[in-house]
Amino acid sequence: MPEVMRPRARDRGIPFDGTPGPWNAITDVPGVEVGQVTVRPATSIPADRRHWVRTGVTTIFPQGPRDLGPVFAGLATLNGNGELTGAAWVEESGELLGPIASTATDGVGLVRDGLVRWMREHGLPPGAWALPVVGETWDGYLHDVRGRHLNEEHVREALDSARPGPVAEGSVGGGTAAICYGFKGGMGSASRVLEVPGPYQVGVLVQANHGRREQLRIAGQPVGRALGPSPRPEAGSILVFVATDAPMLPHQLRRLARRAGLGLARSGSISGNASGDFFLAFSTARRERGGSPLERLEALPNDALDPLFEAVVQATDEAIVNCLVAAEPMVGFEDHRVEALPLEQLGFLGSDAAH
Amino acid sequence: MPEVMRPRARDRGIPFDGTPGPWNAITDVPGVEVGQVTVRPATSIPADRRHWVRTGVTTIFPQGPRDLGPVFAGLATLNGNGELTGAAWVEESGELLGPIASTATDGVGLVRDGLVRWMREHGLPPGAWALPVVGETWDGYLHDVRGRHLNEEHVREALDSARPGPVAEGSVGGGTAAICYGFKGGMGSASRVLEVPGPYQVGVLVQANHGRREQLRIAGQPVGRALGPSPRPEAGSILVFVATDAPMLPHQLRRLARRAGLGLARSGSISGNASGDFFLAFSTARRERGGSPLERLEALPNDALDPLFEAVVQATDEAIVNCLVAAEPMVGFEDHRVEALPLEQLGFLGSDAAH
Amino acid sequence: MPEVMRPRARDRGIPFDGTPGPWNAITDVPGVEVGQVTVRPATSIPADRRHWVRTGVTTIFPQGPRDLGPVFAGLATLNGNGELTGAAWVEESGELLGPIASTATDGVGLVRDGLVRWMREHGLPPGAWALPVVGETWDGYLHDVRGRHLNEEHVREALDSARPGPVAEGSVGGGTAAICYGFKGGMGSASRVLEVPGPYQVGVLVQANHGRREQLRIAGQPVGRALGPSPRPEAGSILVFVATDAPMLPHQLRRLARRAGLGLARSGSISGNASGDFFLAFSTARRERGGSPLERLEALPNDALDPLFEAVVQATDEAIVNCLVAAEPMVGFEDHRVEALPLEQLGFLGSDAAH
Amino acid sequence: MPEVMRPRARDRGIPFDGTPGPWNAITDVPGVEVGQVTVRPATSIPADRRHWVRTGVTTIFPQGPRDLGPVFAGLATLNGNGELTGAAWVEESGELLGPIASTATDGVGLVRDGLVRWMREHGLPPGAWALPVVGETWDGYLHDVRGRHLNEEHVREALDSARPGPVAEGSVGGGTAAICYGFKGGMGSASRVLEVPGPYQVGVLVQANHGRREQLRIAGQPVGRALGPSPRPEAGSILVFVATDAPMLPHQLRRLARRAGLGLARSGSISGNASGDFFLAFSTARRERGGSPLERLEALPNDALDPLFEAVVQATDEAIVNCLVAAEPMVGFEDHRVEALPLEQLGFLGSDAAH
């Protein structure tokens, strides 16, 4: 475990199936890099309102910042109460071009346009257009959404700061003000390593802002019932980004993305009406573009996909719990306060939880 | 509990959330009737092969056998490795006309054509066509699929035998030879009663033939891990039919149907590649067709739907377990044997399980 | 032009864009074979009702009868008032296994089950299931749908009679009783040859039973307006099957299939509520399955697809007109009569129409 | 014809089917208002580059600026090479909240965020989020996309300028720099009045930026063949917004939207790979929200929809031609020049074309 990372869910004795990669994060898929910026309040903001600024941006580069792709990709929407720009072209083309970003609802447009400009400066041909993928979750309980605190510099910083390796979890980046199952939520990640078929990596990054407290299930236990009810109605949404280096075709990646909903269900969600539950899966497997117009590809047959499906279910579930374990209590907009998951009340502390 | 019904999952001490209706079955929705025929081997079959005949038909009438509808309906497909005839017109029109049926894979066509003929005799106007909804699950491990044991008389009998009240579970009707999480599966049902919004009923009927043993989760407990692995690969599929008397529009019923997948996930499924996981929801709420071409309707607003979503998640999960609890071990085709869920090993027997 | 084929639309002076293949039929795609059976009335039927029997079956083998595939495939539904069995698995898997069939509405189940049995006898492994693709159009105006004239032998005959080469058009096979734009319709075919990218073939087979007379447009001319209105309401549907040897991935074939709707629009259709407009595209390009679980593929990039899209638009439009030109007047069920398109009234007879 | 409007397509002798409303525009649907802003270059821009600024914003209010809705709505995507923000929630909820906007590709985010802010100031409850619908077409050939000429004030102006009555066509608003079938394109509108069912209005507004010159068909005539080929590759897209006061449910509006693609096909499009072809339909029919949670609605039955489908096909086709007729030649970015459709070469000038 890297020094920068605090004990995570499985370090705290919560049992999960499957074998994670070295970082237990989406960055276990070779080439994937993640950047995150948490906005600091401008000095012009009165001191007693600086804690109202709770927003940020997270970025994912499928193949590192120097290769904009495209990579094959597929999408699934479980409940569409949200925005995912670029979705139509991913569905149509089966491809994802450039980095992905996630932020808070009101900033989607700014981040989307910022990605376009960044791509123009980093290799998008003149005369070409870009349709970048930007997702969001609503942060209006803890963040001052009317304050216009996010600007294009933050977007650039989130893009330029992308790195391989450990991924910060909890109240950072696009998930800074997120609330998950009535507790402080945010970013979470997890991964699985497969041997058959394989060896392949499957990594998941969630921006978790969904659910009501009484729904929460951890490792199958309906722990939320004892902790609930939520102090306020759901103003939900969860984004799940799935990366793999397994060679899969676009229609298969759509199937893979759909399994994120099953992992979400394990953690207790009913995908409420107010929730924007969007799942995007991409494959970093290389495709050859030779001299001919034809591309040469490899792909797993459909009947080899079950281990990948299972990996997504497991890693999505774990990433959500990782987010809850990482997030600390937060006081924000209008002094609204959201508690952290009281992990010590849940009775999971096992023998390997002595960190 | 009616005398005809044996102890069911919650009678055996397995905890479930929510309040079921009087039958804890899809028939708790007023007007809904279910018919089931389990095929008996013809006397022409040699005695030592009569147990190879393991098939049947289940029917659902949304508004009783004398009102063919249409009712508003919506569909969701989680993994499309199966057949659901009539699906395209339900999706297009938002309506379901006539009874639904479910059977085994190779008999879908026969049952579908049989429903058309039955509808011609029961009120379908001459010159009109019908596109009935018929689903299936694969039964080739326990049933002699090449034997052509199912005939149109069975279809009529399944239609004519439809009744309100308790619903037979386990190895009956379309689920006669079903295998669920590596144990004997089949039909299962459950329901929920809602007060807000409401009072409304939500009923679920499953034909459960999916999953591997090691995936099984009951009430969140990963009990399958200790019972697995499955003795053979998944040859899956689950059908989930959802009924409600809540007034909902077609696009809302599609959303309702989609939540069956979350209940399925709670029981452990990853919706494997070999599985045909189809969910159909319909509303029996009456619509007025007056003298004008316009229909007058009522509908719940979207932001009132969460309790209905939750009811579907809960009832789907419980119906699957009900199916497992009801099914007894079976020996079938080529003397293949499938065990029943060893419930007594699972440690759920609570104080109210003394039946 | 083969001797067996009568003058077709372009032989009659109707102008079409693009270059057809040698047969101007779906069979111009190497490997594609078509079988058609038009049911003859049983001798037990009274002589004065023998002309009430107007039905049949058409089959398409993507790679000839000895290779059941799978091939990559994609689907599009423009208006789902019809049945296309097997659709869910094509959409999920991106693959089509075995032959396709089309027939009349009430026989879909029989043909579907018949295909399953035929596939069991021709290489489907024991223990495996099949989900064959069978489409339909409604034929109740000219055919005695209650008479049960179609049987499984007809299905086998339609499968066993599949051949490369010219494709019979008009009142044959699945389109025997079809009515198209108020005139006698049925089967029609056309093809296009592409050089860039390519050389590739695109072939189309339609079963055309859609539209009202006043909607008909031929080569852009609103000829139907002068010929209409239709003597009876639309009881529509059109099936469009698209074959190509261009290497395309499933999501690209879905895009290709969608373009059949644009060809349909050119011929005047508004895709009425009563119409079941289903489009299926498949690619016969070979995929290598080596010793590893991975398949090796080739595929065109998305930005090379426009010529293929255009070919589908053109060939669909032409296949519909070919069907109208080929069909002769028919008297059928209850002595209903449907006229042929009065081509000579349309003023298209050009210099090369002297056949 | 209002004085402000120049002769339009049907004034120039081009024949179209159906009966238009008084303005032959989307604003013939009562309550619908349209605002358009065409950006003027800032005075800080060097005089020789002021003509490089060719962009703008168009807005549509379904029920006037004081009623943000929601209204029932449905979507269809024919080729998703573009962006339509808010699409996921329209599809999920069946509803559209607030005004719609369209602009050029790189400004989508800015316009989207601008709409959110405007809605916050005009009745969106605090603590609620908005997911506005904003579409785009690419304008990089005539407009200096890197110049950041569009700002939030333009968005407000486009919203505040919304009016009923005639709709400006051609090079205005979101369509300022659009190129359609290789000629100068932009905004176009048309409408149809229906008596049965009805009386209802159907109005269409297009932002037409699609197609290649040789594809263009006007009133069925392949006029583009003589005018083509296009001087440059397609960099396409067309947005079609459909309004009606007919009471229709969300799933029916999705069907209505899909018919825009058939009107598009009539004008010659093959919906090329580079095109973002998005269609949105909404109904302004009032829904009653009484004291109970239930809404009371009226809706047309499915079998009454064909005249509405036909109206959309016709009005979409005519709106595209109206756009071409209205647009004048333009010189823009880097002195790129796009010609207007040479209508006088097309031989349509009839007796009523003497304006």
Q: What are the distances in angstroms from CA B143 to CA B138, B176, B234?
A: 9, 9, 16
Looking at residue D312, what DSSP letter applies?
H
User: What pLDDT, on the 0 to 100 scale, is given for residue D353?
Assistant: 37
Minimal Cα–Cα distance from A61 to chain D, Å? 21
**Nearest-angstrom CA–CA distance, D114 and D153:** 9
- The residue whose two tokens read 């030592």 is B48
Amino acid letter, D266 = R
Query: Mutate which of C283, C295, C308 to test chain A, going by most A C-beta atoms within 10 A?
Result: C295
Is C106 in contact with B91 (Cβ distance < 8 A)?
Answer: no
The residue-averaged pLDDT of B198-206 equals 97
Chains touching chain D, criterion 3+ CB pairs below 8 Å:
A, B, C
User: Nearest 5 degrees, angle CA A96-CA A99-CA A103?
Assistant: 115
If you average pLDDT over every residue of chain C, what do you get?
93
> pLDDT (tens digit, 9 = 90+) per residue, D21-77?
999 999 999 999 999 999 999 999 999 999 999 999 999 999 999 999 999 999 999
**Nearest-angstrom CA–CA distance, C4 and C80:** 35
Task: Provide the β-strand partners of residue D319.
Answer: none
> pLDDT (tens digit, 9 = 90+) per residue, C78-105?
999 999 999 999 999 999 999 999 999 9
The nearest alpha carbon in chain B to D250 belongs to B251
- The residue whose two tokens read 């419980």 is B318
Catalytic residues of B: 237, 275, 277
Of D83, D109, D120, the CB nearest to A88: D83
> Which residue is catalytic, options D230, D267, D275, D283?
D275
User: What pLDDT, on the 0 to 100 scale, is given for residue C139?
Assistant: 93
User: What pLDDT, on the 0 to 100 scale, is given for residue B353?
Assistant: 37
User: What pLDDT, on the 0 to 100 scale, is given for residue A250?
Assistant: 98
Tokens of residue B209, six digits: 């033939």
- Residue B152 scores a pLDDT above 80: yes
- Residue B3 scores a pLDDT above 50: no
User: What pLDDT, on the 0 to 100 scale, is given for residue D306?
Assistant: 97
Is D299 in contact with B302 (Cβ distance < 8 A)?
Answer: no
Residues of D in contact with A146 (CB under 8 A): 120
Minimal Cα–Cα distance from D77 to chain C, Å? 11
The greatest distance separating any two alpha carbons of chain C, rounded to the nearest whole angstrom, comes to 63
For B11, residues 6+ apart whose C-beta sits below 8 A from its C-beta are B1, B352, B353, B355
CA quadruple D313, D319, D320, D323: dihedral, nearest 10: 180
User: What pLDDT, on the 0 to 100 scale, is given for residue D346?
Assistant: 86
- Residue C351 a catalytic site member: no
Asked if the peptide bond before residue D30 counts as cis, ω within 30 degrees of 0, the response is: no
Of B81, B89, B112, the CB nearest to C81: B89
User: What pLDDT, on the 0 to 100 scale, is given for residue D15?
Assistant: 94
User: What pLDDT, on the 0 to 100 scale, is given for residue C289?
Assistant: 77
The residue-averaged pLDDT of C64-71 equals 93
User: What pLDDT, on the 0 to 100 scale, is given for residue D351?
Assistant: 38
User: What pLDDT, on the 0 to 100 scale, is given for residue A325?
Assistant: 97
Minimal Cα–Cα distance from C268 to chain D, Å? 8
Amino acid letter, D254 = R
User: What pLDDT, on the 0 to 100 scale, is given for residue A264?
Assistant: 98
Residue D133 belongs to what H/E stretch? strand D133-137
- Residue C353 scores a pLDDT above 60: no
> Which residue is catalytic, options A191, A230, A269, A275?
A275
> pLDDT (tens digit, 9 = 90+) per residue, C328-347?
999 999 999 999 999 988 87
> pLDDT (tens digit, 9 = 90+) per residue, D131-170?
999 999 999 999 999 999 999 999 999 999 999 999 999 9
Closest CA to C106 of C83, C88, C124, C125: C83
- Residue C275 a catalytic site member: yes
Minimal Cα–Cα distance from D183 to chain A, Å? 18
Confidence category of residue B229, pLDDT binned at 50, 70, 90: confident
Residues of A in contact with D87 (CB under 8 A): 87-88
User: What pLDDT, on the 0 to 100 scale, is given for residue A59?
Assistant: 98
User: What pLDDT, on the 0 to 100 scale, is given for residue B1?
Assistant: 36
Measure the N-to-C terminal CA separation of chain B; round to a whole number of Å. 11
SS (H, E, C) D23-38: CCCHHHCCCCEEEEEE
Amino acid letter, C18 = G
Task: Provide the β-strand partners of residue B133.
Answer: B100
CA C319 from centre of chain: 9
- Residue B273 scores a pLDDT above 70: yes
The residue-averaged pLDDT of B291-316 equals 94
The nearest alpha carbon in chain C to B144 belongs to C127
User: What pLDDT, on the 0 to 100 scale, is given for residue D80?
Assistant: 98
> Which residue is catalytic, options A237, A267, A271, A283?
A237
Query: What share of chain B has pLDDT > 90, as a percent?
Result: 86
- Coil, helix or strand at residue A171: coil
Q: Walk along chain A (355 residues) and give the pLDDT tens digit of each residue.
A: 344 568 999 999 999 999 999 999 999 999 999 999 999 999 999 999 999 999 999 999 999 999 999 999 999 999 999 999 999 999 999 999 999 999 999 999 999 999 999 999 998 988 889 999 999 999 999 999 999 999 999 999 999 999 999 999 999 999 999 999 999 999 999 999 999 888 999 999 999 999 999 999 999 999 998 887 878 777 789 999 999 999 999 999 999 999 999 999 999 999 999 999 999 999 999 888 766 789 999 999 999 999 999 999 999 999 999 999 999 999 999 999 999 999 988 877 543 433 3
Is D296 in contact with B297 (Cβ distance < 8 A)?
Answer: yes
User: What pLDDT, on the 0 to 100 scale, is given for residue B349?
Assistant: 55
B162 close to B25: Cβ distance less than 8 angstroms = no
The burial class, CB within 10 Å (0-12 / 13-18 / 19+), for C296 is middle
Q: What is the pTM of this model?
A: 0.97
The nearest alpha carbon in chain C to B109 belongs to C109
Tokens of residue B207, six digits: 């034909």
- Residue B210 scores a pLDDT above 70: yes
User: What pLDDT, on the 0 to 100 scale, is given for residue C290?
Assistant: 67
> pLDDT (tens digit, 9 = 90+) per residue, D183-196?
999 999 999 999 98
Confidence category of residue C232, pLDDT binned at 50, 70, 90: confident
Least confidently predicted of A285-294, B188-197, C21-30: A285-294
Chains touching chain B, criterion 3+ CB pairs below 8 Å:
A, C, D
User: What pLDDT, on the 0 to 100 scale, is given for residue A1?
Assistant: 37
> pLDDT (tens digit, 9 = 90+) per residue, D267-307?
999 999 999 999 999 999 988 876 678 999 999 999 999 99
Can you list the pairs that C37-42 forms with residues at least 24 positions away whose Cβ atoms lie under 8 Å? C37/C154, C37/C155, C37/C157, C37/C158, C37/C161, C37/C173, C38/C171, C38/C172, C38/C173, C38/C176, C39/C149, C39/C150, C39/C154, C39/C176, C41/C149, C42/C149
The burial class, CB within 10 Å (0-12 / 13-18 / 19+), for A319 is buried
The residue-averaged pLDDT of C282-295 equals 86
> pLDDT (tens digit, 9 = 90+) per residue, D90-132?
999 999 999 999 999 999 999 999 999 999 999 898 888 999 9
- Residue B270 phi, psi dihedral angles, 5° rounding: -105, 10
**Nearest-angstrom CA–CA distance, D286 and D64:** 13
User: What pLDDT, on the 0 to 100 scale, is given for residue C288?
Assistant: 81
- Residue B351 scores a pLDDT above 50: no
Tokens of residue A49, six digits: 């309102």
Residues of chain B that touch chain C, judged by Cβ-Cβ distance less than 8 Å: 77, 79-89, 91-93, 105-114, 116, 120, 127, 129, 131, 138, 140-141, 146, 235, 276, 278
The nearest alpha carbon in chain A to B79 belongs to A255
Q: What is the CA radius of gyration of chain C?
A: 19
**Nearest-angstrom CA–CA distance, D295 and B171:** 42
Residues of C in contact with D78 (CB under 8 A): 258
Is A276 in contact with D82 (Cβ distance < 8 A)?
Answer: no
- Coil, helix or strand at residue A314: helix
The residue-averaged pLDDT of C37-45 equals 93
Residues of chain D that touch chain C, judged by Cβ-Cβ distance less than 8 Å: 17, 78-79, 217, 220-222, 234, 255, 258-259, 261-266, 269-274, 302-303, 305-306, 309-310, 313
User: What pLDDT, on the 0 to 100 scale, is given for residue A4?
Assistant: 52
Closest CA to C173 of C61, C60, C59, C56: C56
> pLDDT (tens digit, 9 = 90+) per residue, C216-226?
999 999 999 88
Measure the N-to-C terminal CA separation of chain C; round to a whole number of Å. 11
Other C-beta atoms closer than 10 Å to the C-beta of B246 total 28
SS (H, E, C) chain B: CCCCCCCCHHHHCCCCCCCCCCCCCHHHCCCCEEEEEECCCCCCCCHHHHHHCCCEEEEEECCCCCCCCCEEEEEEEEEECCCEECHHHHHHHCEECCCEEEEEHHHHHHHHHHHHHHHHHCCCCCCCCCCCEEEEECCCCCCCHHHCCCCHHHHHHHHHCCECCCCCCECCHHHCCCEECCEECEEEEEEEEECCCCCEEEEEEEEECCCCHHHCCECCECCHHHHCCCCCCCCCCEEEEEEECCCCCHHHHHHHHHCHHHHHHHCCCCCCCCCEEEEEEEECCCCEECCCCCEEEEECCHHHCHHHHHHHHHHHHHHHHHHHHHCCCEECHHHCEECCCCHHHHCCCCCCCCC
